[in-house]
Structure 1
C-alpha cells in the first residue's frame, strides 16, 4: 500500500512526501534528508541545471521536523487505506505477535488478511508498545480499542493467529478464549509453523554430521580476528566474489542456508586456506 496524494498539492510538498516515503521504506533516519539527500540533490541540480534551479530546492518542506511529520502523516494515510479495505471486505483475519526489539522494548504487532477484488491481501495493521507487564486481557483491550476507534466489526473476523510468549499470546493463554467469547465461530491458531525450522530438527545423521562440520570450520575462522583478516586477504588475492564467511545461529534458523551457501561459494578458498593449518579434523 502506497500513500495517496491530493491533485492540488504543490510540487515541492509532493516531492517532500515522496522523499519521506522513500526514506521510511529504506528504514533510514529522517534526518538523512537534510544531512545528505538535500545537499547531494543541490549539487547535482546546480551542476546540471545551474544555480537558479538549485535554489528552488531550498524549501522548508524537506527540513528534519517537516520530514518527521510527513512520515507520520504517510503512516496514518496508509493505515486509513488498509482499514477502509478491511471494512469493504466480507471477512478478515488477524495475526498477532508479541516480541522484544533490540532496545528490549516489548511490542505487539498486528497484521491483517482480507479480500480485495476477489483475492487475498496481507497488510500490517498496527504496532503498540507494551511498557509494563501485559497479560492476554490487556492484549484484548488493545485490539478492541483499535477496532472501536477505526470502526472495524468483530462479526467479520473469521480467524486469529497468535505467536509470542506463552504468558501473553501463547497456546496456554486466555487470549483465544477472549476472542471466542465475542465470536464463537472464529478459528484460532497458535504459532506460525516454520517448515524449514522443523525440517532442520530431523536431518539424517550423515547430513547433520556434514552440517556440523561446516559450522565448525566457519567458527574456527570467525572466532579468531587474525584468521578472519588472513582469510579475507586470501580471498581478495584470489579474486573471489566474497571474502567474508557468515555465522550460523540456531535462533535465526534462516542463517543456516545463508552460511552453507557462502561456504559452497568459497569451498576452494577454504580448502586452500586450511591446508597449511594442518587441521586434520576439518
Structure 2
C-alpha cells in the first residue's frame, strides 16, 4: 500500500429532486505508472461500475499535477476527448482544487529557520529510544498536556502545525531536557526566535483549520 499511489474519485452532482450530493465513488491503488492514460482508464472503469454515462459529465476538479493537466496526454485532455466522441459540442468545465494552492502558500512564509530547528529538536528526542523514553517520563512527571512529541513529514504537511505547537507548549521542558543531555538548544533562549516560533504556530494552526474546513461536504465558497 505504501508503494502505491492512491487515486480517489469523487462524484459531485444533483439528484432528481435538486439536492446537491457528493460521494467517494472509488479509491484505486496505482501500483504501476500514473500517466494520463492510466488515470482515465481507472476513471472509465469507475463510471462503468456505477453505471454513469460520459455525456452526463459536466466538469472535473483536480489538484493540478502534470499527469492530470497535460494539454496533450493528461487526464483532463483524455476526459474531454471521451466526451467529444459522444458530443462534439460539449465542453467540460475544468476546476482547480483550492486546497492545493493554499498548501503552496506555506512555502512563502519563510519559516525554515524555525522549522529546521524544531525538526532538529524532535529528531534529537525521537531518534534515540532512550531519549524518547526519558522525555516521555519527564512530561508525565510534570503532568503536561502533551505526553509525547510527534514527527513532521513533508508529505503530511498538516503534521507541521501539530509539531510546532507541541514544541511551543513544551519549550521549557525540552530546553531543560536538552541541557541535561549536554545538547542545549540556544534558539530556545533567544527571544526573537521564540517570537518567530509563536508566529509559525499561529499561522500553521490557521492553515490547518482552513484546510479541514475546505474538506467539509456541502460547503460553498460564499459560506466560508
Change (3 A) 1:195 1:241: same
Q: Which residue is equivalent to 2:167?
A: 263
Q: Which residue is equivalent to 1:171?
A: 70
CA distance in 2, matches of 1:279, 1:249: 24
- Structure 1 range deviating more: 250-259 or 219-228: 219-228
Q: Which residue is equivalent to 1:108?
A: 7
What is the DSSP-based 3-state SS (H/G/I as helix, E as strand, rest coil) of the residue aligned with 2:12? strand
Change (3 A) 1:149 1:241: closer
What is the DSSP-based 3-state SS (H/G/I as helix, E as strand, rest coil) of the residue aligned with 1:169? helix
Structure 2: segments with no counterpart, 5+ residues: 85-89, 188-224
Matched residue pairs, number? 178
Change (3 A) 1:157 1:256: same
- Whose relative contact order is higher, 1 or 2, with alpha carbons under 8 Å and at least 6 apart? 2
Q: Which residue is equivalent to 1:39?
A: none
Tell whether 2:27 aligns with 1:122: no
Measured after TM superposition, the shift of residue 187 of structure 1 is 1.5
Measured after TM superposition, the shift of residue 111 of structure 1 is 1.0
Q: Which residue is equivalent to 1:136?
A: 36
Change (3 A) 1:159 1:228: same
Work out which of the two has the higher radius of gyration on C-alpha atoms and give 1 or 2: 1
What is the DSSP-based 3-state SS (H/G/I as helix, E as strand, rest coil) of the residue aligned with 2:146? coil
Q: Which residue is equivalent to 2:58?
A: 158
Please give the per-residue CA displacement for 1:123-144, whole angstroms capped at 9, x wherever unaligned.
1002344465464334334433
Measured after TM superposition, the shift of residue 240 of structure 1 is 1.9
* TM-score, normalization by structure 1: 0.53
Tell whether 2:156 aligns with 1:252: yes
Aligned mate of 2:80, from 180, 191, 215:
180
Measured after TM superposition, the shift of residue 200 of structure 1 is 1.9
